Structure 1
């Protein structure tokens, strides 16, 4: 690696969240790139060029990252995709002030290595929400590879469209943002800032994004959001373990494997799932429904076509409880 290229390396932090005594950190090391803020006036050509720029940046493997939190120093290595993560225990909040964690590449040595900062978010309580993103929150056409690819490269955070009514449904689910919201998706980390901007622009409750670790570049950008989705199951299990006192609503769609993954969670944690909402993408195969019914009780498994249907079901459940 040449000195000039090393001088452009930086940490891109993604996650710093936890419970009352544990905190989970995640990020990656990349060659720095400058991305202009999205605009709703950008045409498809500008958006395609922005996508090329987004994926032209390289994740950097085998880098040593120093993490400083609560006056303690931790050292981690990036994996083959430039990603690192760390979970630390015995770290209760020390004051009512905002907690900040810092990240910096320390090896190989980089001149004036930039320091990245992230606020640590802690969640507690009895109820949380875990949601998929593609075709659950944002229109993605995940079952049509060509349409999905063109949509992903020709639109930006301000021109991508949400599923109708999803903002109202999620505000109802989270009691206007009082309950913690977590997103688990097969989108890759290069889309992290786009998804964050999209959620804010569309007034959809924000929360930690747990995306797919496998690096996507210009050669395989068309694979983003595809492939094996078992990583979603693993990330949901991680959330269940990080918040053992919390029961969750699970929100997804029928276009990929969400119903089967959520059924596995109901089976593994029968008393920890308050309800499942599956947005129907096309017709739901009767054979899939039968397999679910043979595996678990689908009493709290709600298949909906619109956000209005989901809101009506949620309001009825609230009345009954």
Structure 2
């Protein structure tokens, strides 16, 4: 296949994924609800999403194919969040009614007064949206509640930690994701096996909560979901992204480190009975943010794993100083060149099984020796 054919294939697949959220209403206009996978505990659950108002698909547009995808991408670009829509949420016998904000988002915190089944981790939340002038819209979304045997919380960065996504590499990353074979050149070697091992734990039956954080906006949610599924990485209960909210009054998105710290605080409060490990990379502010978390929550953080993404001596010296700051705590900051070193430390800590460690070692060897 020529480079031209590769790029045509890339463009078609990318457009199809971007257009995917628009398929739900079969080309009809009006109100559309896009919920994001939720999470919770035995005490409360969180359900997030956005309500849109969008145009209908023209009658001359076919129901499938590149032209349909292109039209749906255009509809997605010009759709707008619908403010003040009423959102009724029910999970089991628990229910809550809230309204969307000015950008159409809803972020529901639903107390669990009627216990959910403990023999399953994924629960269905039913959502009904009422907007003035439109018929009601129904949808549902999965909510993850860890089983009683879950013994560890994992919070991981995505960008340059799970996948190759340097700011200058975005287009290359998308090309690798949609044109190259899914297991090649998109995720760091051994990442899928590492996160599967962390998810299953030493017993291989733990089903631990893994929460992912990205600096990107919610608009790339579907692409990240596709990436995780193609690379066999545990999807986790939620992909935490930022709503950039760029406007003339606020031309810049919220700082990534503030976004990440707030989410970590929220998760440590929600899963207050679990220790936690934090995973990030050396290229941004992860080591500094995570070190402050260790100081703020003595005894809660078992380990910090930082993937080395460059060879900057000054950056490594700065990280070493942070390691020295944590020397008197129970948490060790591990600067790792690859997934194997992280897995070896996690195994020594009793956080993954021997089979999980072997799977990471095998996958890293296979991917590093793959000439493609």
Displacement after TM superposition at 1:99 (Å): 3.6
SS at match of 2:349: helix
Runs of 4+ in 1 over 6 A off after TM superposition: 46-53
Change (3 A) 1:228 1:163: same
Specify which of 13, 20, 33 is matched with residue 11 of structure 1: 33
d(CA) in 1 for partners of 2:90 and 2:256? Answer: 34
Unaligned runs of 5+ in 2: 1-26, 57-67, 354-372
| Residues 1:198 and 1:48: Cα distance change in structure 2 (over 3 Å) | farther
Determine the C-alpha separation between the residues in 1 that align with 2:260 and 2:35: 20
Kindly indicate whether the alpha-carbon contact (under 8 Å) linking 1:63 and 1:105 is maintained by their aligned counterparts in 2: yes
Alignment match of 1:228 (pick from 245, 251, 256): 256
Partner of 2:242: 212
Aligned to 1:114: 137
Equivalent position of 1:244 in the other structure:
272
Identify if the C-alpha distance between structure 1 residues 281 and 63 changes in structure 2 by more than 3 Å, giving closer, same or farther.
Answer: same
Could you state the TM-score of these two structures normalised by the residue count of structure 1?
0.78
Deviates more, 1:290-299 or 1:200-209: 290-299
Take 2:199 and 2:278, find their aligned partners in 1: how far apart are those partners? 12
Q: Give 5+ residue unaligned stretches, structure 1.
A: 35-45, 218-222
* Alignment-derived partner of residue 61 in structure 1: 83
State which of 238, 259, 264 in structure 1 corresponds to 2:292: 264
2:192 paired residue number: 167
Residue 41 of structure 1 corresponds to none
Aligned residue for 2:228?
199
Root-mean-square deviation (CA), in Å? 3.6
Aligned with 2:197: secondary structure?
Answer: helix
1:62 and 1:99 map into 2 onto residues whose CA distance is 27
Q: Alpha carbons of 1:52 and 1:235: their partners in 2 closer, same or farther (altered >3 Å)?
A: farther
SS in 2 for 1:115: strand
Query: Greater shift after overlay, 92-101 or 252-261?
Result: 92-101
Equivalent residue number for residue 309 of structure 1: 341
Distance in structure 1 (CA, Å) of the matches to 2:155 and 2:101: 26
**In 2, Cα distance between equivalents of 1:54 and 1:245:** 41
Larger proportion of helix: 2
Tell me by how many angstroms 1:288 deviates. 2.8
Change (3 A) 1:178 1:105: closer
Q: Name the CA shift for 1:233/1:33 in 2 (closer, same or farther; >3 Å).
A: farther
Per-residue CA deviation, residues 212-268 of structure 1 (Å, 9 max, x unaligned), is 122479xxxxx89x8433111111111101110011111111121111111111111
Question: 1:54 Cα deviation (Å)?
Answer: 5.4
Structure 1 position 49, deviation (Å): 9.4
Distance of aligned partners of 1:33 and 1:287 in 2 relative to their CA distance in 1, 3 Å threshold: farther
Bigger mean CA deviation after superposition, 62-71 or 246-255: 62-71
Q: Is the 2:123–2:145 contact (alpha carbons within 8 Å) kept by the matching residues of 1? A: no
Q: What is the DSSP-based 3-state SS (H/G/I as helix, E as strand, rest coil) of the residue aligned with 1:203?
A: coil
| Mapped contact 1:13–1:26 kept (Cα < 8 A) | yes
Take 2:232 and 2:74, find their aligned partners in 1: how far apart are those partners?
27
* 2:204 maps to 1:181: no
Change (3 A) 1:295 1:77: farther
Aligned residue among 115, 118, 133 for 1:93: 115
Aligned to 1:75: 97
Higher relative CO (Cα under 8 Å, sequence separation at least 6) belongs to: 1
Q: CA-to-partner distance for each residue in 1:257-301, whole Å, 9 max, x for gaps?
A: 111111111111121111110011213515532652465338610
**Are 1:128 and 2:153 counterparts?**
yes
Instruction: Give distance in 1, aligned partners of 2:272 and 2:105.
Output: 26
Structure 1 115/32 Cα, relative in aligned 2: closer, same or farther at 3 Å?
A: farther
Deviation at 1:130, TM superposition (A): 1.0
Aligned partners of 1:20 and 1:92 also within 8 Å: no
Distance 2:134 2:210 in 1: 37
Structure with greater Cα Rg? 2
